[in-house]
Structure 1
């Protein structure tokens, strides 16, 4: 297995795991259980995404596209500013 990315948070890690799984890439999150020890452990570098060597380049490309994505401009209705439409 190859370490391909260090997520900033557990939330980002879980989202990336789901994204990779949807593309058929099996990924493993290292350090998931260490997050609760922040304060006694260094705050950075605890989490890491690992994938099989043969899928590493594809996974890096997908994560690169995720990091390069831009936020879409908000399209709020005038009558309800600040609310989300679902």
Structure 2
């Protein structure tokens, strides 16, 4: 297993786990149970997405494409610019 990404939040981590799973990549989230210790533990670097070595490049590519995606102007609500409607 190889650590390929450090999500900023548990919400981002869960969403990326789901996305990778939908693409046939089995991923594991390390540090999920440490999030409750923020304040006593360092705030950054607690979470990590791990995948099998042979799937690491594809998983990094998918996460990179996700991070590079832009909000379409027609999908932005007027009250919250920069937010996607789901």
Q: TM-score range by the shorter chain?
A: 0.7 to 0.9
| Unaligned stretches of 5+ residues in structure 2 | none
Q: Greater Rg, structure 1 or structure 2?
A: 1
- Quote the offset at 1:72 in angstroms: 1.2
Large movers: runs of 4+ above 3 Å: 74-77
What CA distance in whole angstroms lies between the structure 1 residues aligned with 2:71 and 2:55?
27
Deviation track 1:13-62 (CA, whole Å, cap 9, x = no partner) reads 00000000000000000000000000000000000000000100000000
Q: Could you say what the CA RMSD is over the residues aligned between the two structures, in angstroms?
A: 2.1
- TM-score relative to the length of structure 2: 0.87
What CA distance in whole angstroms lies between the structure 2 residues aligned with 1:75 and 1:60?
26
C-alpha distance 34-74 of structure 1, shift in aligned 2 (>3 A): same
2:17 aligned partner: 17
- TM-score relative to the length of structure 1: 0.87
Aligned length: 82
1:56 aligned partner: 56
| Unaligned stretches of 5+ residues in structure 1 | none
Matches within 5 A, 1:1-86: 1-75=1-75, 82=79
